[in-house]
Structure 1
Amino acid sequence: MTSPFAYTIHTPASMKPGITYPVVFALHGIGYTEKDMISVIEELNEELIVIGVRGQRPYENGYAYYYLKGYGNPEREQFDESVGMLDRFIDYAANRYPIDRERMYLLGFSQGAILSLTLALRLGKKIKGVLAMNGYIPSFVKEEYPIQSTDHLSVFLSDGQDDPIFPPHIGEESYQYLKERVGSIRYQTYAAAHEISDANREDAVAWIRMEVTR
Protein backbone atom coordinates (compact mmCIF):
# COMPACT_ATOMS: atom_id res chain seq x y z
CA MET A 1 0.00 0.00 0.00
CA THR A 2 1.37 3.40 -0.95
CA SER A 3 0.64 6.67 0.82
CA PRO A 4 -2.00 8.90 -0.77
CA PHE A 5 -0.24 11.94 0.74
CA ALA A 6 3.22 13.37 1.23
CA TYR A 7 3.87 13.60 4.97
CA THR A 8 6.40 14.32 7.69
CA ILE A 9 6.72 12.00 10.66
CA HIS A 10 8.39 12.39 14.05
CA THR A 11 8.91 9.30 16.17
CA PRO A 12 10.41 9.10 19.67
CA ALA A 13 14.16 8.57 19.55
CA SER A 14 13.82 5.99 22.32
CA MET A 15 11.25 3.77 20.57
CA LYS A 16 11.53 0.13 21.58
CA PRO A 17 10.90 -2.86 19.30
CA GLY A 18 7.53 -4.50 19.83
CA ILE A 19 6.01 -1.44 21.54
CA THR A 20 3.22 0.59 19.95
CA TYR A 21 2.75 4.32 20.53
CA PRO A 22 -0.09 6.84 20.44
CA VAL A 23 -0.24 8.88 17.26
CA VAL A 24 -1.44 12.37 16.38
CA PHE A 25 -2.31 13.02 12.74
CA ALA A 26 -1.82 16.77 12.21
CA LEU A 27 -3.76 18.54 9.45
CA HIS A 28 -2.84 22.08 8.43
CA GLY A 29 -4.88 25.05 7.26
CA ILE A 30 -5.09 26.29 3.67
CA GLY A 31 -1.84 27.89 2.53
CA TYR A 32 0.21 26.18 5.26
CA THR A 33 2.28 22.99 5.36
CA GLU A 34 2.36 19.91 7.53
CA LYS A 35 5.47 21.22 9.30
CA ASP A 36 3.50 24.20 10.60
CA MET A 37 1.16 21.85 12.46
CA ILE A 38 3.88 19.53 13.70
CA SER A 39 5.60 22.52 15.31
CA VAL A 40 2.49 23.20 17.42
CA ILE A 41 3.09 20.06 19.50
CA GLU A 42 6.80 19.50 18.94
CA GLU A 43 7.47 19.09 22.65
CA LEU A 44 5.53 15.80 22.50
CA ASN A 45 7.94 14.28 19.97
CA GLU A 46 9.50 11.96 22.55
CA GLU A 47 6.15 10.82 23.95
CA LEU A 48 4.23 9.77 20.85
CA ILE A 49 4.27 9.60 17.07
CA VAL A 50 3.32 12.78 15.24
CA ILE A 51 2.46 12.66 11.55
CA GLY A 52 1.90 15.87 9.60
CA VAL A 53 -0.13 15.24 6.46
CA ARG A 54 0.52 17.62 3.56
CA GLY A 55 -2.45 18.72 1.47
CA GLN A 56 -2.29 17.42 -2.08
CA ARG A 57 -3.15 20.74 -3.76
CA PRO A 58 -0.80 23.76 -4.01
CA TYR A 59 -2.10 27.01 -2.55
CA GLU A 60 -0.07 30.23 -2.32
CA ASN A 61 3.06 29.41 -0.26
CA GLY A 62 1.69 26.13 1.01
CA TYR A 63 -0.95 23.52 0.32
CA ALA A 64 -4.63 22.73 0.64
CA TYR A 65 -6.68 19.55 0.94
CA TYR A 66 -9.47 21.20 -1.07
CA TYR A 67 -10.22 24.57 -2.62
CA LEU A 68 -13.04 26.91 -1.67
CA LYS A 69 -15.88 28.54 -3.55
CA GLY A 70 -15.98 30.91 -0.57
CA TYR A 71 -15.37 30.74 3.16
CA GLY A 72 -17.43 27.91 4.57
CA ASN A 73 -18.20 26.64 1.06
CA PRO A 74 -15.71 23.96 -0.05
CA GLU A 75 -15.49 22.39 -3.46
CA ARG A 76 -17.59 19.39 -2.50
CA GLU A 77 -15.98 16.76 -4.74
CA GLN A 78 -12.53 17.77 -3.52
CA PHE A 79 -13.68 17.74 0.10
CA ASP A 80 -15.17 14.26 -0.17
CA GLU A 81 -12.09 13.02 -2.00
CA SER A 82 -9.80 14.30 0.74
CA VAL A 83 -11.88 12.69 3.47
CA GLY A 84 -11.57 9.34 1.70
CA MET A 85 -7.86 9.81 1.12
CA LEU A 86 -7.26 10.71 4.77
CA ASP A 87 -9.16 7.61 5.88
CA ARG A 88 -6.86 5.51 3.68
CA PHE A 89 -3.80 7.38 4.91
CA ILE A 90 -4.64 6.59 8.54
CA ASP A 91 -4.81 2.90 7.63
CA TYR A 92 -1.56 3.19 5.68
CA ALA A 93 0.26 4.77 8.64
CA ALA A 94 -1.19 2.33 11.18
CA ASN A 95 0.10 -0.58 9.07
CA ARG A 96 3.53 0.94 8.40
CA TYR A 97 4.49 2.33 11.83
CA PRO A 98 4.27 1.02 15.42
CA ILE A 99 1.01 2.83 16.15
CA ASP A 100 -1.37 1.94 18.95
CA ARG A 101 -4.67 1.69 17.08
CA GLU A 102 -6.55 2.32 20.32
CA ARG A 103 -4.91 5.73 20.72
CA MET A 104 -5.17 7.55 17.40
CA TYR A 105 -5.86 11.30 17.51
CA LEU A 106 -6.53 14.08 15.02
CA LEU A 107 -5.21 17.63 15.35
CA GLY A 108 -6.26 20.30 12.90
CA PHE A 109 -6.32 24.04 12.32
CA SER A 110 -8.92 25.79 10.09
CA GLN A 111 -9.31 23.55 7.02
CA GLY A 112 -7.48 20.85 8.95
CA ALA A 113 -9.90 21.26 11.88
CA ILE A 114 -12.90 20.93 9.56
CA LEU A 115 -11.49 17.70 8.15
CA SER A 116 -10.52 16.40 11.60
CA LEU A 117 -14.05 16.84 12.93
CA THR A 118 -15.51 15.28 9.79
CA LEU A 119 -13.19 12.28 10.02
CA ALA A 120 -13.97 11.78 13.71
CA LEU A 121 -17.69 11.65 12.93
CA ARG A 122 -17.21 9.39 9.93
CA LEU A 123 -14.64 6.96 11.35
CA GLY A 124 -16.21 6.38 14.76
CA LYS A 125 -14.18 4.19 17.08
CA LYS A 126 -11.12 4.29 14.83
CA ILE A 127 -10.37 7.74 16.31
CA LYS A 128 -10.03 8.23 20.06
CA GLY A 129 -9.90 12.02 20.14
CA VAL A 130 -9.84 15.20 18.08
CA LEU A 131 -8.42 18.64 18.74
CA ALA A 132 -9.97 21.15 16.35
CA MET A 133 -8.69 24.73 16.25
CA ASN A 134 -10.68 27.45 14.50
CA GLY A 135 -12.88 25.15 12.44
CA TYR A 136 -16.44 23.84 12.24
CA ILE A 137 -18.57 20.91 11.06
CA PRO A 138 -20.04 21.51 7.60
CA SER A 139 -23.83 21.24 7.42
CA PHE A 140 -23.61 18.68 4.59
CA VAL A 141 -21.50 16.45 6.82
CA LYS A 142 -24.20 16.51 9.52
CA GLU A 143 -26.96 15.93 6.98
CA GLU A 144 -25.43 13.59 4.41
CA TYR A 145 -22.47 11.74 5.87
CA PRO A 146 -22.99 8.43 7.68
CA ILE A 147 -22.25 9.50 11.26
CA GLN A 148 -20.76 6.72 13.38
CA SER A 149 -21.02 6.21 17.13
CA THR A 150 -18.95 8.85 18.92
CA ASP A 151 -19.86 8.29 22.56
CA HIS A 152 -16.24 7.23 23.19
CA LEU A 153 -14.73 10.35 21.59
CA SER A 154 -12.78 13.07 23.42
CA VAL A 155 -12.96 16.51 21.80
CA PHE A 156 -11.16 19.81 22.39
CA LEU A 157 -12.62 22.70 20.38
CA SER A 158 -10.88 26.06 20.35
CA ASP A 159 -11.32 29.35 18.53
CA GLY A 160 -10.30 33.00 18.64
CA GLN A 161 -12.52 35.74 20.03
CA ASP A 162 -11.40 38.04 17.21
CA ASP A 163 -11.44 35.45 14.41
CA PRO A 164 -12.91 37.22 11.34
CA ILE A 165 -13.26 33.95 9.39
CA PHE A 166 -14.87 31.61 11.91
CA PRO A 167 -16.04 33.83 14.81
CA PRO A 168 -16.83 32.25 18.19
CA HIS A 169 -20.52 31.60 17.42
CA ILE A 170 -19.26 29.02 14.88
CA GLY A 171 -17.35 27.21 17.63
CA GLU A 172 -20.39 27.41 19.89
CA GLU A 173 -22.52 25.74 17.21
CA SER A 174 -20.02 22.88 16.96
CA TYR A 175 -19.97 22.56 20.73
CA GLN A 176 -23.76 22.39 20.94
CA TYR A 177 -23.86 19.76 18.20
CA LEU A 178 -21.19 17.57 19.78
CA LYS A 179 -21.82 17.86 23.51
CA GLU A 180 -24.62 15.26 23.52
CA ARG A 181 -22.83 12.98 21.07
CA VAL A 182 -19.31 12.52 22.47
CA GLY A 183 -17.79 11.08 25.61
CA SER A 184 -16.09 14.29 26.73
CA ILE A 185 -15.73 17.76 25.30
CA ARG A 186 -13.90 20.97 26.10
CA TYR A 187 -14.57 24.27 24.37
CA GLN A 188 -12.24 27.25 24.80
CA THR A 189 -12.10 30.70 23.22
CA TYR A 190 -8.76 32.53 23.23
CA ALA A 191 -7.74 36.16 22.85
CA ALA A 192 -6.67 35.65 19.24
CA ALA A 193 -7.76 36.01 15.61
CA HIS A 194 -7.62 33.21 13.01
CA GLU A 195 -4.43 31.76 14.45
CA ILE A 196 -3.03 29.42 17.08
CA SER A 197 -2.11 31.49 20.11
CA ASP A 198 0.60 30.48 22.57
CA ALA A 199 -2.06 29.80 25.19
CA ASN A 200 -3.98 27.57 22.79
CA ARG A 201 -0.81 25.68 21.88
CA GLU A 202 0.08 25.13 25.54
CA ASP A 203 -3.42 23.86 26.30
CA ALA A 204 -3.32 21.61 23.25
CA VAL A 205 -0.09 19.98 24.39
CA ALA A 206 -1.47 19.50 27.91
CA TRP A 207 -4.74 18.05 26.59
CA ILE A 208 -3.01 15.55 24.31
CA ARG A 209 -0.58 14.53 27.05
CA MET A 210 -3.49 13.90 29.42
CA GLU A 211 -5.52 12.03 26.81
CA VAL A 212 -2.84 9.57 25.71
CA THR A 213 -2.24 8.47 29.30
CA ARG A 214 -5.89 7.80 30.12
Structure 2
Amino acid sequence: MKPAYRYDLHLPPDYDPGRRYPAIFTLHGKGSNERNMYGLVEPLDSPCIIIGIRGNLPLGAGYQFYELKSLGKPIRELFDTAVRQLEQFIAYATETYAIDPQQRYLLGFSQGAILSMSLALTMGQDQIRGIVALNGYVPEFVKTEYTLQPVAQMPVFISHGEYDSVFPVRIGHETAAYWQTATSACTFKLYPTDHGVSPDNQRDFLSWLKQAFTSHPQGGDTI
Protein backbone atom coordinates (compact mmCIF):
# COMPACT_ATOMS: atom_id res chain seq x y z
CA MET A 1 0.00 0.00 0.00
CA LYS A 2 1.33 3.40 -0.97
CA PRO A 3 0.33 6.03 1.61
CA ALA A 4 -1.56 9.13 0.48
CA TYR A 5 0.77 11.38 2.49
CA ARG A 6 4.46 12.08 2.76
CA TYR A 7 5.67 11.92 6.34
CA ASP A 8 8.53 12.60 8.72
CA LEU A 9 9.52 9.57 10.80
CA HIS A 10 11.38 9.62 14.13
CA LEU A 11 12.12 6.29 15.80
CA PRO A 12 13.44 5.80 19.37
CA PRO A 13 17.27 5.66 19.54
CA ASP A 14 17.09 2.02 20.67
CA TYR A 15 14.32 1.10 18.25
CA ASP A 16 13.62 -2.62 18.31
CA PRO A 17 11.15 -3.87 15.66
CA GLY A 18 10.39 -6.77 17.99
CA ARG A 19 8.74 -4.44 20.52
CA ARG A 20 5.65 -2.26 20.38
CA TYR A 21 5.92 1.50 21.00
CA PRO A 22 3.47 4.32 21.62
CA ALA A 23 3.07 6.50 18.53
CA ILE A 24 2.28 10.18 18.12
CA PHE A 25 0.88 11.26 14.76
CA THR A 26 1.21 15.01 14.27
CA LEU A 27 -1.01 17.05 11.96
CA HIS A 28 0.06 20.57 11.01
CA GLY A 29 -1.96 23.70 10.40
CA LYS A 30 -2.90 25.29 7.09
CA GLY A 31 0.16 26.46 5.15
CA SER A 32 2.63 24.76 7.51
CA ASN A 33 4.43 21.42 7.35
CA GLU A 34 5.30 18.29 9.30
CA ARG A 35 8.75 19.54 10.37
CA ASN A 36 7.28 22.49 12.21
CA MET A 37 5.14 20.09 14.21
CA TYR A 38 8.15 17.98 15.16
CA GLY A 39 9.61 20.96 16.99
CA LEU A 40 6.64 20.80 19.37
CA VAL A 41 7.19 17.19 20.40
CA GLU A 42 10.96 16.87 20.00
CA PRO A 43 11.61 17.50 23.74
CA LEU A 44 9.51 14.45 24.65
CA ASP A 45 12.02 12.04 26.15
CA SER A 46 9.69 9.05 26.39
CA PRO A 47 10.50 6.20 23.99
CA CYS A 48 7.91 6.57 21.26
CA ILE A 49 7.52 6.72 17.50
CA ILE A 50 6.74 10.17 16.13
CA ILE A 51 5.22 10.48 12.67
CA GLY A 52 4.63 13.93 11.21
CA ILE A 53 2.07 13.77 8.42
CA ARG A 54 2.33 16.33 5.60
CA GLY A 55 -0.86 17.60 3.99
CA ASN A 56 -1.05 16.54 0.34
CA LEU A 57 -2.32 19.87 -1.02
CA PRO A 58 0.34 22.60 -1.58
CA LEU A 59 -0.40 26.04 -0.14
CA GLY A 60 2.23 28.74 -0.58
CA ALA A 61 5.47 27.52 0.97
CA GLY A 62 3.58 24.89 2.97
CA TYR A 63 0.71 22.43 2.74
CA GLN A 64 -2.85 21.76 3.79
CA PHE A 65 -5.06 18.69 4.16
CA TYR A 66 -8.19 20.29 2.69
CA GLU A 67 -9.33 23.60 1.26
CA LEU A 68 -11.97 25.98 2.61
CA LYS A 69 -15.05 27.66 1.20
CA SER A 70 -14.45 30.33 3.84
CA LEU A 71 -12.96 30.47 7.33
CA GLY A 72 -14.39 27.62 9.38
CA LYS A 73 -16.18 26.06 6.40
CA PRO A 74 -14.23 23.19 4.83
CA ILE A 75 -14.98 22.01 1.31
CA ARG A 76 -16.86 18.91 2.38
CA GLU A 77 -15.61 16.55 -0.31
CA LEU A 78 -11.98 17.38 0.44
CA PHE A 79 -12.52 17.13 4.19
CA ASP A 80 -14.24 13.75 3.91
CA THR A 81 -11.40 12.50 1.73
CA ALA A 82 -8.78 13.70 4.21
CA VAL A 83 -10.47 11.89 7.11
CA ARG A 84 -10.70 8.66 5.11
CA GLN A 85 -7.10 8.86 3.87
CA LEU A 86 -5.76 9.70 7.32
CA GLU A 87 -7.52 6.67 8.80
CA GLN A 88 -5.87 4.57 6.09
CA PHE A 89 -2.50 6.18 6.75
CA ILE A 90 -2.66 5.40 10.47
CA ALA A 91 -3.40 1.76 9.61
CA TYR A 92 -0.51 1.73 7.11
CA ALA A 93 1.96 3.16 9.65
CA THR A 94 0.85 0.70 12.31
CA GLU A 95 1.50 -2.21 9.96
CA THR A 96 4.83 -0.80 8.76
CA TYR A 97 6.43 0.18 12.07
CA ALA A 98 6.49 -1.32 15.58
CA ILE A 99 3.49 0.67 16.80
CA ASP A 100 1.29 -0.49 19.64
CA PRO A 101 -2.24 -0.14 18.19
CA GLN A 102 -3.53 0.52 21.71
CA GLN A 103 -1.22 3.51 22.16
CA ARG A 104 -1.80 5.71 19.14
CA TYR A 105 -2.05 9.43 19.87
CA LEU A 106 -2.95 12.35 17.61
CA LEU A 107 -1.53 15.84 18.08
CA GLY A 108 -2.71 18.64 15.84
CA PHE A 109 -2.64 22.42 15.54
CA SER A 110 -5.42 24.47 13.90
CA GLN A 111 -6.45 22.50 10.78
CA GLY A 112 -4.52 19.59 12.24
CA ALA A 113 -6.44 19.93 15.53
CA ILE A 114 -9.74 19.91 13.61
CA LEU A 115 -8.74 16.69 11.88
CA SER A 116 -7.35 15.13 15.08
CA MET A 117 -10.65 15.65 16.87
CA SER A 118 -12.64 14.43 13.88
CA LEU A 119 -10.51 11.29 13.62
CA ALA A 120 -10.85 10.64 17.34
CA LEU A 121 -14.62 10.69 16.92
CA THR A 122 -14.72 8.52 13.80
CA MET A 123 -12.11 5.98 14.95
CA GLY A 124 -13.05 5.93 18.64
CA GLN A 125 -11.27 4.93 21.81
CA ASP A 126 -10.54 1.39 20.60
CA GLN A 127 -8.26 2.78 17.88
CA ILE A 128 -7.05 6.13 19.22
CA ARG A 129 -5.66 6.25 22.74
CA GLY A 130 -5.75 10.03 23.16
CA ILE A 131 -5.45 13.39 21.40
CA VAL A 132 -3.88 16.82 21.85
CA ALA A 133 -5.87 19.48 19.99
CA LEU A 134 -4.33 22.96 19.86
CA ASN A 135 -6.52 25.87 18.70
CA GLY A 136 -9.14 23.96 16.74
CA TYR A 137 -12.80 22.93 16.75
CA VAL A 138 -15.09 20.08 15.70
CA PRO A 139 -17.08 20.89 12.53
CA GLU A 140 -20.83 20.72 13.07
CA PHE A 141 -21.29 18.24 10.21
CA VAL A 142 -18.86 15.87 11.91
CA LYS A 143 -20.99 15.94 15.07
CA THR A 144 -24.29 15.46 13.24
CA GLU A 145 -23.58 13.56 10.02
CA TYR A 146 -20.56 11.33 10.64
CA THR A 147 -20.81 7.89 12.23
CA LEU A 148 -19.23 8.48 15.63
CA GLN A 149 -17.54 5.86 17.77
CA PRO A 150 -17.38 5.69 21.60
CA VAL A 151 -14.89 8.12 23.19
CA ALA A 152 -16.12 8.14 26.81
CA GLN A 153 -12.77 6.82 28.08
CA MET A 154 -10.51 8.71 25.68
CA PRO A 155 -8.08 11.20 27.29
CA VAL A 156 -8.24 14.55 25.50
CA PHE A 157 -6.09 17.69 25.92
CA ILE A 158 -7.70 20.81 24.46
CA SER A 159 -6.02 24.22 24.49
CA HIS A 160 -6.81 27.60 22.97
CA GLY A 161 -5.37 31.09 22.81
CA GLU A 162 -7.30 33.71 24.75
CA TYR A 163 -6.54 36.23 21.98
CA ASP A 164 -6.82 33.87 19.02
CA SER A 165 -7.55 36.08 16.00
CA VAL A 166 -8.37 33.12 13.71
CA PHE A 167 -10.68 31.06 15.95
CA PRO A 168 -11.98 33.35 18.74
CA VAL A 169 -11.70 32.06 22.29
CA ARG A 170 -15.47 31.43 22.28
CA ILE A 171 -14.76 28.54 19.90
CA GLY A 172 -12.26 27.11 22.37
CA HIS A 173 -14.86 27.15 25.14
CA GLU A 174 -17.46 25.54 22.86
CA THR A 175 -15.00 22.83 21.82
CA ALA A 176 -14.10 22.10 25.44
CA ALA A 177 -17.78 21.93 26.41
CA TYR A 178 -18.42 19.40 23.65
CA TRP A 179 -15.57 17.15 24.77
CA GLN A 180 -16.41 17.50 28.45
CA THR A 181 -19.76 15.87 27.70
CA ALA A 182 -18.20 13.26 25.40
CA THR A 183 -15.40 11.96 27.65
CA SER A 184 -14.67 11.71 31.33
CA ALA A 185 -11.01 12.59 30.72
CA CYS A 186 -10.96 16.06 29.13
CA THR A 187 -8.30 18.62 30.06
CA PHE A 188 -8.93 22.19 28.86
CA LYS A 189 -6.46 25.05 29.17
CA LEU A 190 -6.37 28.66 27.96
CA TYR A 191 -3.16 30.59 27.28
CA PRO A 192 -2.63 34.35 26.81
CA THR A 193 -1.68 33.94 23.15
CA ASP A 194 -2.93 34.54 19.62
CA HIS A 195 -3.24 31.63 17.15
CA GLY A 196 -0.11 29.79 18.22
CA VAL A 197 1.53 27.55 20.80
CA SER A 198 3.29 29.18 23.76
CA PRO A 199 6.14 27.57 25.73
CA ASP A 200 3.73 27.04 28.65
CA ASN A 201 1.26 25.31 26.37
CA GLN A 202 3.99 23.06 24.99
CA ARG A 203 5.24 22.23 28.48
CA ASP A 204 1.75 21.31 29.63
CA PHE A 205 0.83 19.01 26.75
CA LEU A 206 4.22 17.29 26.85
CA SER A 207 3.66 16.62 30.57
CA TRP A 208 0.17 15.35 29.73
CA LEU A 209 1.56 12.97 27.11
CA LYS A 210 4.22 11.63 29.46
CA GLN A 211 1.56 10.96 32.07
CA ALA A 212 -0.61 9.25 29.46
CA PHE A 213 2.28 6.97 28.49
CA THR A 214 2.88 6.15 32.15
CA SER A 215 -0.77 5.30 32.79
CA HIS A 216 -0.67 2.90 29.85
CA PRO A 217 2.79 1.27 29.94
CA GLN A 218 4.25 0.21 26.63
CA GLY A 219 4.28 -3.43 25.77
CA GLY A 220 7.50 -5.37 25.50
CA ASP A 221 6.15 -8.35 23.61
CA THR A 222 7.99 -9.59 20.58
CA ILE A 223 6.26 -9.82 17.24
TM normalised by structure 2 equals 0.94
Q: Which amino acid aligns with 2:29?
A: G
Residue 165 in structure 1 maps to residue 145 in structure 2:
no
Alignment partner, residue 220 of structure 2: none
Deviations 1:86-126 (A, max 9, x none): 00000000000000111100000000000000000000120
Alignment partner, residue 77 of structure 1: 77
Deviating more after overlay: 171-180 vs 90-99: 171-180
The answer to whether the 8 Å contact 1:121/1:150 transfers is yes
The answer to whether the 8 Å contact 2:166/2:195 transfers is yes
Alignment partner, residue 92 of structure 2: 92
Alignment partner, residue 34 of structure 1: 34
The answer to whether the 8 Å contact 2:17/2:97 transfers is no
Residue 129 in structure 1 maps to residue 130 in structure 2:
yes
Q: Percent identity?
A: 42
Deviations 1:138-168 (A, max 9, x none): 0000010011111121000001011011121
Deviating more after overlay: 142-151 vs 9-18: 9-18
CA distance in 2, matches of 1:190, 1:10: 29
Alignment partner, residue 178 of structure 1: 179
SS of the residue corresponding to residue 31 of structure 1 reads coil
Relative contact order (C-alpha < 8 Å, sep 6+): which is higher?
Answer: 2
The answer to whether the 8 Å contact 2:44/2:206 transfers is yes
Q: Which amino acid aligns with 1:20?
A: R
Q: Which runs of 4+ in 1 moved over 4 A?
A: none
Alignment partner, residue 219 of structure 2: none
CA distance in 2, matches of 1:156, 1:6: 26
The answer to whether the 8 Å contact 2:46/2:210 transfers is no
TM normalised by structure 1 equals 0.97
Q: Give the root-mean-square deviation of aligned CA atoms.
A: 1.0
Alignment partner, residue 4 of structure 2: 4
Alignment partner, residue 153 of structure 2: 152
Structure 2 unaligned regions, length at least 5: 216-223
Q: Which amino acid aligns with 1:61?
A: A
SS of the residue corresponding to residue 181 of structure 2 reads coil
SS of the residue corresponding to residue 126 of structure 1 reads coil
The answer to whether the 8 Å contact 1:10/1:45 transfers is no
Alignment partner, residue 49 of structure 1: 49
Residue 65 in structure 1 maps to residue 60 in structure 2:
no
Alignment partner, residue 208 of structure 1: 209
Structure 1 unaligned regions, length at least 5: none
How far off is 1:170 after superposition? 0.5
